[in-house]
Structure 1
Amino acid sequence: MKKITTLILLCVCVITKAQSIISIQEAIANYDYETALKLIEKERTVTTKLLFQKAQALKGLNLPTDALEVFRRITITEPENQRALIEMAECYKLLGNFTDALGCYEKVLQLNPTNKYVQLQHINLLCSLERFKAGKSACDELMKNDSSVVSKRLLALCYEGLEESDSAITCYNTILQTVPEDYLSVARLANLYIKANKMEAAIKCTETYREKDSTNLFVNKQNALAYCLNKDYPIATQRYEYLVNQGDSSHLTCYYLGICYYATENFYEAHDFLNIALKNDPKNVNLLYYMARSCAKTSWKKEGVEYMNQAIALTIPSDTTLTRLYIGLADCYKLAGMPQNQIEALQEQYKYDSKNTKLLYQMGAIYQDALKNNKKAEQYLEMYLKTKPKEKTEEATQLNSKGEIEVGEAAYYNATTKRLEQIRKDRFFKEGIPEKEFKKKEVSTAKEMITVE
């Protein structure tokens, strides 16, 4: 009797367990992940299958970090579990961690080098990380056993990344010879032709596709752009109008449709679409230019002036920007041991920063010390000395806000005086010309000449 009772209890347990497993599977199949997680938590025995289901539910609830931890638990006990490694890679991708995702795929490929799904994912990630050389090598390996459109398209993408446009074009044309309906290859091929300024070729390949399907948005975008850049504005306008009517309100579509309207003298329509594009790219000089011209030819003439001034302001760098660039250039010349070029850079800097009179001292010092051109040195040092204020200047040295000793304005003038004295003494001994009387207004506190960076 006890044996029968025990057997019955065992049967009940098995049936209950089976029902629980079925309930979890049904919940996951119905995307009811929260219910699945609750049912899994009730299970006393944790199996690999149960962990997979838990991770799947967490991933379905957009909790990739939690799902990743569960998959990692599986790989600790089963380091060669390919499914767990692939799922970990997917979680890493959801988290934007492409490097670790790549590592997971590479582990799987070590275990199973011919897994096509993993090979494709691996190459896609290499391209995302712009490791196109490695991607091409992986493509070559894949194509030993696979010559599908997907593989060839990935190879073409790697050629694009390596800037081998001719090879990429050849790849896409090869694909289209066997699968002419592959719109992605048509779109990318047209894009390559446009970049190479081969508008007629771009138009031809997109029009060939449009004969079979004139509705594809990807192909129509490239087709419209090719016509626009080829200055076939009426046809380009038709293509862009079709895109807009199909719900395409992207920045580039509005921008180029605005350009087409402007070129065909539909200035009000040009204004409307350029205005939409401008909201997404307010510092685009070309966009501001055409917006200004469109406004000037419509009712928004004052706005046109404003837009054109904005375009000019963006085109001409500010004095602050130019000053910073010439400071850097002068420093580069100094470190490269090119004093004449350093002076030229300082002269350009002075054009945009004339209040910084110490630049005159710096140029004079370079002429005197590095170029041994006392005539030019004297010229610049005298120019600097004339900027000396009548009132008392600050001390030769002073403490800055950080408590550090820095050279004050007086030290520069004192150094200038000593440099001029030295130049005139040198000229006297060299040329026999009496040194001109040089009136000293202040007694120098510096014991020797200073060089200011």
Structure 2
Amino acid sequence: MHSLPETAGSVEVTVSADTLTQSSVSSVDGLRRAMEAYAYDRVIDWVGPEADDSLKLAFQVPALKAMNRYPEAIRVLQQVLDRDSVSVKAWVDWADCHRALGQPVQAARGYRKALELAPDNRYFRLQFIRSLLSAEDYEQARTACHDWLERDSVSATGYKYLGQAYEGLQDVMHAFLSYNLAYRRDSLDGQVVARIANIFNNNEQYADAVEVTERYRLTDTTHLDVNRQCAKAYCLKKDYAEAVQRYEQLRRQGDRSFPTFYYLGISHFGDNWFYGAYDNLKEAYAQHPNDVNVLYYLGKAAARTSWKQEAVGYLQEALDLTIPKDSTLVRLYEGLAEGYQYAGETDSWMEICKKLYQLTKHRKWLHSLARTYDWQKDYANALYYYRKYMEQVPPAQRLPLDEEGNLIPDATTLYQEVEKRVKKLQAEEFFRVGQPEGESPLQMRQMQMKE
């Protein structure tokens, strides 16, 4: 039973959720007492469909949100907005519900509407940009941040979100510049420091990452993301002893993330403590069993500990993941061949066809090559691949036969068409160069390719 002390003159009164009745909440004060007593179900029931919109916004919608009944709240809010499309509170609540449901696109739409109605409201602008970033609509987020900074050019938060938008657009230079401007305005924003350090680490500027994170740690040693980037920088600059200390601190903070286990394992390995490396890499492996780098270092660490028998297994797993199966390679090469074909890059397409034949031994690639060489008037190569194609056609498939083995009249097979083309090429070669005493140029070319 929940109760809330309420002052009536000098007498203290308590309101119990169990003693509330419909008649006791017939007034606004009654609804307020029900909300204060956490009697959300009763508030939802007592504010009926015919109730005034102000009561729905003040009581029913907050009660629905408190009970995580967001779809119902959205339906109520939509009805309110159908009657009053300029209700700022309705738009914000509508957006809040969509955000809670993990629907950032709709949430951004609601916050945009609220912002249009109240352009100076900081909360609406913040939530609008956050929703755009969550929806990965980075171009719109960038535009929204610039709009904000035109109104408030000293906002550290505005520059921070602008940096996130540029990161999403893969524009690292402008992202760094934006984070730098945010940092100059608020050097104690841990998120900004962590993102700057992350850019430094990705750019292999490990000393800079250490400097910016260590400066922040002078005032706050508990920020998780800053500590992760700091530890990672020490690891990547091969200061393994310091990296181990920083990652152990993260472990004491309760950090059981994959990067922490992985880089702590790498740091122990670099510091020649292979049992520590094995233990942490095994934890990383449990989270990401198909990570080739984890398997590689786990195998190397296992080989230097009592788990030597496991080492080969981990390294073999890494090899199996690294070397694609033939079926995967075939799909990739077929896609690449199609791309070259559409792009009109015939020579590159032919090279891929040769690789596909090596992988599949399927005669269709020989025929494709022969036809292309024929089209290019490279008759020596055309005849070479036509003949290779013909050699691979089984005798039973060379003639048009029905299921009983009888010849189908007026039908031809691809083999017969190729055979006819080969004879024509040979005849054209004969009339072009005459009957030579030795090998014809065409025959010499074929012999060279066979060799």
Structure 2 length-normalised TM: 0.83
* Residue segments in structure 2 that go unaligned for 5+ positions in a row: 1-21, 404-410, 439-451
Equivalences for residues 164-183 of structure 1 within 5 A: 164-183=171-190
For 1:51, the aligned partner's letter is K
Q: Give the drift of 1:164.
A: 4.2
What is the rounded CA distance, in whole Å, between the counterparts of 2:346 and 2:285 in structure 1? 46
Query: Cα deviation per residue 1:199-244 (whole Å; 9 max; x = unaligned)?
Result: 1111001111112222322211111011111111110011001111
1:357 equivalent in alignment to 2:363: yes
1:64 equivalent in alignment to 2:70: yes
What is the rounded CA distance, in whole Å, between the counterparts of 2:54 and 2:167 in structure 1? 42
Query: Cα deviation per residue 1:14-45 (whole Å; 9 max; x = unaligned)?
Result: x967764333212323433123223335xx96
1:107 equivalent in alignment to 2:113: yes
What is the rounded CA distance, in whole Å, between the counterparts of 1:395 and 1:386 in structure 2? 14
* Aligned equivalent of 1:46: 51
* Aligned equivalent of 2:146: 140
1:317 equivalent in alignment to 2:324: yes
1:425 equivalent in alignment to 2:427: yes
Contact 2:132/2:140, CA 8 A, preserved across alignment? yes
Q: Give the drift of 1:149.
A: 3.3
Contact 1:397/1:411, CA 8 A, preserved across alignment? no
* Aligned equivalent of 1:87: 93
Query: Cα deviation per residue 1:165-222 (whole Å; 9 max; x = unaligned)?
Result: 4444344444444533322222122112212221111100111111222232221111
Contact 1:68/1:91, CA 8 A, preserved across alignment? yes
* Aligned equivalent of 2:347: 340
For 2:251, the aligned partner's letter is V
What is the rounded CA distance, in whole Å, between the counterparts of 1:139 and 1:338 in structure 2? 43
What is the rounded CA distance, in whole Å, between the counterparts of 1:331 and 1:139 in structure 2? 41
- Provide the secondary structure at the position in 2 that maps to 1:26: helix
For 1:299, the aligned partner's letter is S
What is the rounded CA distance, in whole Å, between the counterparts of 1:305 and 1:339 in structure 2? 44
Q: How many residues in Structure 1 have an aligned counterpart in Structure 2? A: 408
Q: Give the drift of 1:314.
A: 1.7
2:258 aligned to 251, 254, 277, which one?
251
1:280 equivalent in alignment to 2:287: yes
Query: Cα deviation per residue 1:247-304 (whole Å; 9 max; x = unaligned)?
Result: 1111110011111111111112111111111122122111111111111112222321
Contact 2:366/2:386, CA 8 A, preserved across alignment? yes
For 1:65, the aligned partner's letter is P
Contact 1:346/1:363, CA 8 A, preserved across alignment? yes
1:123 equivalent in alignment to 2:125: no
Instruction: Give the percent of matched residue pairs that are identical in Structure 1 and Structure 2.
Output: 34
* Aligned equivalent of 1:393: 397
Equivalences for residues 322-333 of structure 1 within 5 A: 322-333=329-340
1:226 equivalent in alignment to 2:233: yes
Q: Give the drift of 1:61.
A: 1.0
1:34 aligned to 41, 55, 69, which one?
41
What is the rounded CA distance, in whole Å, between the counterparts of 1:249 and 1:99 in structure 2? 31
Contact 1:199/1:227, CA 8 A, preserved across alignment? yes
Q: Give the drift of 1:72.
A: 1.2
Structure 1 length-normalised TM: 0.82
Q: Give the drift of 1:122.
A: 1.3
* Aligned equivalent of 2:191: 184
Query: Cα deviation per residue 1:70-105 (whole Å; 9 max; x = unaligned)?
Result: 111111222211100111111122233322222222
What is the rounded CA distance, in whole Å, between the counterparts of 1:335 and 1:19 in structure 2? 72
* Aligned equivalent of 1:450: none
Give the aligned CA root-mean-square deviation in angstroms. Answer: 2.7
Range moving further from structure 2, 160-169 or 209-218:
160-169
